[in-house]
Chains A and B, each alone.
Chain A
Amino acid sequence: MRGWTLVAVGALPPGLLEKAATFLAQATSLPVSIHPDTLDLQGAYEPRRAQFDCRRLLPPLETVAGESDSLVLGLADVDLYSAIFTFVFGEARLHGPAGIVSIHRLRPTLYGLPDDPDLLESRMRREVLHEAGHLLGLVHCADPDCAMHFSAVAEEIDLKRDEFCTDCRDTLAGNGH
């Protein structure tokens, strides 16, 4: 069974990547390593939108996946957008080799609320697990408590748990994970 490699995409708050690694290892029972290099963000910046394009960040992460023979998740602290959406919390293709999660829109301060590091970490855990689930082949889940439930806004992430529901766990087990 392949493990995970976490990659810092641009600057991150200190210790956050390590917390994400500890959580992911525990949640998926797979080994997690942290890539020594930080991925440069500059090539992905779109000045017209003042956002970063996921499509330009995923290929270098996929290269890391090929080199490390692991599933790769990048963690960023910038506003991400995709080809079709005004913004995304993260992006990963089903059964893909790499995905990305950004904590930018998970911060309560973005919505005019007081800073809350615990809430930010809790949201990050859920989104990291959500994108990891897609890489493992899980589709969106109808159970609103499950980490695989789709959240269109940050408050919806708070309704989820930072684990998969029983059915999703069973599906993973059925897929050999």
Chain B
Amino acid sequence: MTQKTLPKLRLLVVDDENVVRDSLSSWFEEDGHTVQSAPDAREALRILKESPWDAALVDIKMPGMDGLELLRRVREASPTTRVIIMTAFASVDTAVQALKDGAYDYVTKPFDPEQLTHLIRNIAEHRDLEQENRHLRDHLAAVVKPQPILGTSPAILRACALIETVAPTETSVLVTGESGTGKELVARAIHAMSPRAYMPLVVVNCGALPEGTLESELFGHERGAFTGAHYRHKGKFELADGGTLFLDEIGEISPKLQVELLRVIEEKQITRLGDTKAVRADFRLIAATNRDLMTEVRAGNFREDLYYRLNVFNIHLPPLRERCGDIPQLSRALLERVARSMNQPVPEIDPSAMEVMESYEWPGNVRELANALERALVVLRGRHENVLRVGDLPIEVEKNGKAAILNSTLNGTTSKLNGTQETEPEAIEEEDDGVTPAELRALSEVERDHILRVLNATDWNISKTARVLGVDRTTVYNKIKTLHLTKG
């Protein structure tokens, strides 16, 4: 155990009077500070050059370079060092000049013990706050740093330029694009580059929650607002106060919620369920959808006024098939990220594998690409190899030269999910030209069966199902709803 010492400073005493240097040094040492002294400005500058000092106490009158000139030099050479000017003769002019030149403070000799103690404590507090501020900023910068949006295709470059343009503003943004194109990534980038970056980014997936739950999630509720509301609960609007609210799958919200959302956007106030008092809600809104909202408006499914409120600034993300040229860069970056998370070396990608990836349609877009690469990495690890080949991908090149997703992906993955030994993916059977009409089925039927199979195989675990299918959880929920899939 050691003494509870006061915050330690590194102090430099610059005075041509030996007794002042010694007395100040010994007094500072009694406070536990590190002290060094210099008899003139030249020696002080030499010491300052060697290591950083929290503060320099500089006598204004010294032979050679005087204290005010030294102050100016210190400000240039060591801007973080606070300079306190000491003088035996207080004069308003010199005090004003010293402070104008950037002195931290000005004290007269002999010092009032209380004044000097306060001054040193203030410097310590100031220094600690600056350090804390710097650490927090570094920490936050690392936390809020968004994943880069990769690609050099014109469509992606345009999207990036739009993000940079809109980010510093308060404008509402509507991000559109197919599932898996990276809409949330865009929202995170906008938030991170905005003045609200150090405040929360609250993400709500509107498609993943039933209407009642979503309303309570968004608006919050008071205790006793409904059965089961045992506690007061802050809603996402309130949680996003000062920051950004990202409403994903906005096209899925009910007409009732559309009205309520419109009111919140217009009034910037919310009322918790079961409460009568309105609370101010200061958030920037970013919404995203994979639907064509204008079509929904025309069909009467989405409020036109809300649409225009949301779509002040539109950023459209192209599907991956429209930017195949980005696949090499994307796949390398994704592979590197996954390999790092799996503590595995980053494999090379065989040129033929890259060719297959570039020719594949990727209906699940970047998310599907990421899942395919993760799966390939697992296969590679099992083989103890470090080159990703065509066979490692859940894709096969068809006779017509097009790449298609392997049917066996599911088998391989579900075996893994069930805890049985992983099986190598089987090749999809070649299309049988002699197939009977009875065996021909509509795509929706195949889709329905396939999703149901995966759901059953994963015991209706939505996350696992989404991973296997290469789609997001919302899509799985939507499919369950639209295809009327039921458990059991």
A interface with B by C-beta (< 8 Å): 55, 81-88, 93-94, 134, 138-143, 146, 148, 150, 152-153, 165-168, 170-171, 174
Contact B117 A86 (CB under 8 A): no
Docked complex Cα distance between A139 and B118 (Å):
17
Q: SS class of chain A's interface: helix, strand, loop or mixed?
A: loop
Q: What per-residue 1/0 map shows which CB atoms of B92-125 lie under 8 Å from chain A?
A: 0000000000000000011111101110000000
Chain B residues near A94: list those with CB within 8 A: 26, 29-30
Given A84-B20, A86-B112 in contact, is the A167-B117 Cβ separation under 8 Å? no
B125 smallest CB distance to A (angstroms): 13
- Indicate which residue in B6, B29, B112 contacts A85 across the interface (CB closer than 8 Å): B112
By CB atoms of chain A within 10 A, which of B3, B22, B29, B30 has the most?
B3
Closest to B117 in A: A152
- Tell yes or no: B27 within 8 A of A by CB: yes
- Indicate which residue in A81, A82, A143 contacts B4 across the interface (CB closer than 8 Å): A143
- Tell yes or no: B5 within 8 A of A by CB: yes
A139-B31, A153-B114 known; 17 other A-B pairs, CB under 8 Å?
A82-B23, A82-B110, A83-B20, A84-B20, A84-B23, A84-B109, A88-B113, A138-B3, A139-B30, A140-B5, A140-B32, A141-B3, A142-B5, A143-B4, A152-B118, A167-B1, A171-B2
Docked complex Cα distance between A152 and B2 (Å):
24
- Tell yes or no: B19 within 8 A of A by CB: yes
Contacts A/B (CB < 8 Å), 6 sampled: A84-B110, A85-B110, A85-B111, A140-B6, A142-B4, A171-B2
Closest to B120 in A: A150
Closest to A140 in B: B31
Chain B residues near A93: list those with CB within 8 A: 26
Docked complex Cα distance between A79 and B446 (Å):
100
Docked complex Cα distance between A140 and B113 (Å):
14
Chain B residues near A86: list those with CB within 8 A: 110-113
- Tell yes or no: B62 within 8 A of A by CB: no
- Indicate which residue in A85, A139, A143 contacts B113 across the interface (CB closer than 8 Å): A85
Chain A residues near B109: list those with CB within 8 A: 84
Chain A residues near B118: list those with CB within 8 A: 152
Docked complex Cα distance between A38 and B91 (Å):
43
Docked complex Cα distance between A59 and B23 (Å):
15
Contact B111 A167 (CB under 8 A): no
B interface with A by C-beta (< 8 Å): 1-6, 19-20, 22-24, 26-27, 29-32, 109-114, 116-118
Docked complex Cα distance between A87 and B114 (Å):
10
Contact A170 B1 (CB under 8 A): yes
Chain A residues near B4: list those with CB within 8 A: 141-143, 146, 165, 167
Chain A residues near B29: list those with CB within 8 A: 94, 139
A10 smallest CB distance to B (angstroms): 22
Chain A residues near B24: list those with CB within 8 A: 84
Chain A residues near B32: list those with CB within 8 A: 139-140
Contact A139 B110 (CB under 8 A): no
Chain B residues near A152: list those with CB within 8 A: 113-114, 117-118
Closest to A166 in B: B1
Chain A residues near B3: list those with CB within 8 A: 138-139, 141-142, 148, 167-168, 171
Closest to A130 in B: B30
- Indicate which residue in A81, A87, A142 contacts B6 across the interface (CB closer than 8 Å): A142
Docked complex Cα distance between A131 and B360 (Å):
83
Chain B residues near A83: list those with CB within 8 A: 19-20, 22-23, 110
Chain A residues near B117: list those with CB within 8 A: 150, 152
Chain A residues near B2: list those with CB within 8 A: 167, 170-171, 174
Docked complex Cα distance between A171 and B4 (Å):
10
- Indicate which residue in B6, B30, B111 contacts A134 across the interface (CB closer than 8 Å): B30
B265 smallest CB distance to A (angstroms): 51
Contact A171 B19 (CB under 8 A): no
Chain B residues near A141: list those with CB within 8 A: 3-6
Docked complex Cα distance between A94 and B32 (Å):
10
Docked complex Cα distance between A62 and B26 (Å):
17
A2 smallest CB distance to B (angstroms): 21
Contact A84 B31 (CB under 8 A): no
Contact B111 A171 (CB under 8 A): no
Docked complex Cα distance between A115 and B173 (Å):
75
Closest to A96 in B: B26
Docked complex Cα distance between A139 and B1 (Å):
14
Contact B5 A139 (CB under 8 A): yes
Docked complex Cα distance between A150 and B33 (Å):
14
Docked complex Cα distance between A142 and B20 (Å):
25
Closest to A82 in B: B23
Closest to B112 in A: A86
Docked complex Cα distance between A61 and B111 (Å):
25
Docked complex Cα distance between A26 and B23 (Å):
31
B476 smallest CB distance to A (angstroms): 58
Chain A residues near B114: list those with CB within 8 A: 152-153
Closest to A51 in B: B110
Closest to B13 in A: A84
B31 smallest CB distance to A (angstroms): 5
B207 smallest CB distance to A (angstroms): 55
Chain A residues near B6: list those with CB within 8 A: 140-142
By CB atoms of chain B within 10 A, which of A138, A139, A165, A171 has the most?
A139
